[in-house]
Amino acid sequence: MTFNVLVQAIISGILVGGVYALIGIGLTIIFGVMRVINFAHGELMMVGMYMTYFLFTLAGIDPFVSIVITIPLMFIFGGILQKVFINRIIGTLPQNQILLTIGLGLIMSNSIMLAFTSDYKILTTSYSSASVSIAGISVSEPLTISFLITAVITAVLYWFLMKTDMGQAMRATSQDREAAQLMGINVQRMSILAFGLGASLAGTAGALISPTYYIFPQVGSAFTLKAFVIVVLGGMGSVIGATLGGIIIGVVESVGAVTISSDWKDVLVFTIFLLVLLVKPSGLMGKSRM
């Protein structure tokens, strides 16, 4: 395996890792603020993909442009889910929370399947297979654009969490819910905010990946598992951790596919996951720090 192939694998891995990071960040915010393990996270991404698809085919809006519509819509969707369903089980057994979100995920994916059939949908844009050649390495155009958008979103999110009142309230809630409540923070509202934010991030990740991937109702479950690996690796509740975790996993998958084989790369990812759980379950960045 030549150096060229290795560099190519690393570059591709970093670019795909950007999208993974976005999914992971959403999941980690939800866990950080609400201590809920959202097993329906991949399905939220899937909803974002379908939204993007219909905006593209019915209204002709480019997927990267349509995220300005997808983000607020998904935010509202996430908020509704939180208020109607998830709110009732905050503070109960984590096992029940997991099962509730599993149930919600099943409902989402199967409703979409009923409505739109399980036929695969392909979104074809003018740049879907375009790439730029830099020093012999082929850099995917659509992936680069989504990486840049992800970077911008992550920066904005970080600024929101660090510099705004609401963001700081969210961080306080994730550090210590009761103390935050005593300080006068409306923790209920924080939960709605967190879930809405998580949903819109997941939906955006779906929108960003849709020019290069394909869309079907069950696409979410593979990404949910990956999201968990990323979040545990990065540290549950840490945004920086999820970002790092996403990129690491993207690179591991990509390099694993060329060094070992594409069959075993998923086994590699899950093995890393187990090792992290056993050796350092708080992940790279530790727990409860956004």
Partner 1 sequence: MKSFSLTASDTRGFSAPALVIGVAILAALFLFPSFVQSPYVLHMMILLFLSTIMGESWNIIGGYTGQYSVGHAAYFGAGAYGTLILLQKWEIAPWFGMWVGIAVALVLALVIGSICFRLRGPYFVLASIAVAEIVRLTVLNTPTVTNGAEGILLTDIPPFKIGATVITDFVSKVPFYYISLVLALLTIAVTWLVQHSKLGYCIQAIREDQDAAHSLGISLSFYKNVALAISATLTSLAGSFYAIYIKFIDPTTVLALDLSVQIVLIAIIGGIGTIYGPVVGSLVLVPLSEALRSNVIAQGLINSGIVREDSGIGIFLKEHLAHAHVLIYGILVVIVILFMPDGVLGFVKKMTKKSGTGD
Partner 2 sequence: MLKKIAVAATVLALAIPGAAQANKVKIGFINTITGAEAPIGENLTNGAMMAVEDLKKKGIDVDLVKEDDTGKPEKALSAFEKLATRDNVAGVVGPYTSACANAVASQADKYKVPQLVPAAAKEEITQKGYKYVFRLNAPADVYSSVMMDAILTLGKPQSIAYVYANTDFGISTVKTAQEYAKKLGIKEVANEKYQKGAPDFRSTLSKIKSLNPDLIFMVSYEVDAITLMRQSKEIGVTPKAFLGAGAGFTTAQFLAQKEISNLVFSSSQWTDDVNWPGAADFGKRYKAKFGKEPTYHAACAYEAMRIMAETAAAKGGDRDKTRDGLKSGSWKGIMGDVKFIDYEKFTNQNRHEMLVQQIQVGKYETVFPSKYATKKAIYPFAWK
User: Out of 105, 237, 256, 283, which residue is the one contacting partner 1 (CB under 8 A)?
Assistant: 105
277 touches partner 2 (CB under 8 A): no
Distance separating alpha carbons of residues 274 and 124, to the nearest angstrom = 38
User: Out of 57, 118, 186, 271, which residue is the one contacting partner 2 (CB under 8 A)?
Assistant: 118
37 touches partner 1 (CB under 8 A): yes
User: Out of 5, 65, 155, 277, which residue is the one contacting partner 1 (CB under 8 A)?
Assistant: 277
Who contacts 220 (Cβ-Cβ below 8 Å, separation ≥6)?
40, 41, 42, 43, 44, 45, 46, 105, 108, 109
Cβ 53 to partner 2 shortest distance, Å: 14
Cβ 62 to partner 1 shortest distance, Å: 32
What track of x and - describes contact with partner 1 for positions 218 through 257 (by CB under 8 A)? ---x---x--xx--x-------------------------
138 binds, among partner 1, partner 2, none (CB under 5 to 8 A by kind): partner 2
Cβ 240 to partner 2 shortest distance, Å: 24
HSE, side-chain direction, 13 A CA sphere, residue 154: 24
119 touches partner 2 (CB under 8 A): yes
Nearest CA to 46 out of 206, 225, 159, 258 is that of 206
DSSP result, 130-169: -EEEETTEEEEHHHHHHHHHHHHHHHHHHHHHHHSHHHHH
30 neighbors 186 (Cβ within 8 angstroms): no
What track of x and - describes contact with partner 2 for positions 4 through 43 (by CB under 8 A)? xx--xx--xx--x---------------------------
Cβ 199 to partner 1 shortest distance, Å: 17
3-state secondary structure of 177: helix
Distance separating alpha carbons of residues 244 and 235, to the nearest angstrom = 10
65 touches partner 1 (CB under 8 A): no
57 touches partner 2 (CB under 8 A): no
Which one-letter amino acid corresponds to residue 237? G
Cβ 193 to partner 1 shortest distance, Å: 22
111 touches partner 2 (CB under 8 A): no
DSSP result, 38-102: -TTHHHHHHHHHHHHHHHHHHH---HHHHHHHHHHHHHHHHHHHHHHTGGGGTTS-HHHHHHHHH
154 neighbors 21 (Cβ within 8 angstroms): yes
Q: With contacts defined by CB under 8 A, name the span among 82-90, 128-136, 163-171, 190-198 that binds partner 1.
A: 82-90
The H or E element spanning position 183 is none
Residue ranges binding partner 1 (CB under 8 A): 37, 85, 88-89, 93-100, 102-107, 110-111, 113-114, 221, 225, 228-229, 232, 263-264, 266-267, 270-271, 273-274, 277-278, 281
